[in-house]
Amino acid sequence: MKISLVILLFFLPFMPHHALDSTTLLQKMYARYHGKWHSNLSFNQTTERYKNDSLVKSQIWYEHILYPDKLRIDFDSLKSGNGVLFRGDSTYVISKHKLARSLKGENELIFFLGGMYFVPFDQVLAHFKALNYDLSKFHEDIWKGKPVYVIGANNADEEVNQLWIDKEKLVAIRFIKYDASTKEEGTMEEQIALKGGWSETYCKFYINDKLLQVEKYHDIVAGGPVDKSLFEPSLIK
């Protein structure tokens, strides 16, 4: 018995830890930030639009997020009367202080970048699956010299929806999404620590590997006062 115990203790440090997968990673993220992440976020951003690698337009956008699933963007100024409202699985286009049209479609980044911490965990898993992330797939990688986890893909070359997670901070820093013949990619970089969580401050978005948009955040406020009427379609103004 004593010899067996010595052998076990000798090999124990070299035994592999429980294998991490997409579901257990999401559990780790949820355990770290559920009940701690800031409930709302506001900032303005310099938004640059590109075509064929050339800058074609630059605007200031004013953004307000109310987790888990609401985002209001006003273009050019808070009083311009032009912008967009994301609320759950619906999108509302605002033009000249009026609701111009509404359509189905959510902004998935609200969910990845904070919203997932405000719903029960079983809903988190269900939402990832509804967004066509295969949670049976997972791997570790290196991105920009730093270790990352990747949800939804077994290797970087798979043409499947995947979300890249900073290994230390446990926050999303990159997504790749495939839809028919379109590849969409976004990077969320230069995170800063906020109340109970983080915020990216520099983002890039690509369509079929061509640069579409660059965003630089300014005047970020987390957990401040929030005007909930901003997120009511019937009160758009």
Q: Residues 194-207: pLDDT tens digits?
A: 989 999 999 999 99
What tokens appear for 100 in the block? 């111009």
What tokens appear for 202 in the block? 């520099």
* pLDDT at residue 54, as a whole number: 95
Q: How much is the pTM?
A: 0.89
What tokens appear for 138 in the block? 């997972």
Question: Mean pLDDT by 10-residue block, N- to C-terminus, for the chain (237 residues)?
Answer: 44 53 98 98 97 95 98 91 95 93 94 98 98 98 97 95 98 96 97 96 97 98 94 86
The residue extents of the domains of the chain are 18-235
Residues 149 and 117: their CA atoms lie apart, in Å, by 18
Q: What is the pLDDT of residues 84-133, one digit of tens each?
A: 999 999 999 999 989 999 999 999 999 999 999 999 999 999 999 999 99
Is the Cβ–Cβ distance between 64 and 228 less than 8 Å?
no
* pLDDT at residue 7, as a whole number: 43
Residues 104 and 87: their CA atoms lie apart, in Å, by 10
CB-facing half-sphere around the CA of 171: CA atoms within 13 A: 22
Residues 150 and 153: their CA atoms lie apart, in Å, by 7
Cα 180–Cα 140–Cα 125 angle in degrees, nearest 5: 60
* pLDDT at residue 79, as a whole number: 84
- What does CATH list as the number for 18-235? 2.50.20.10
Tell me which residue of 99, 129, 138, 94 sits closest to 111, measured CA to CA: 129
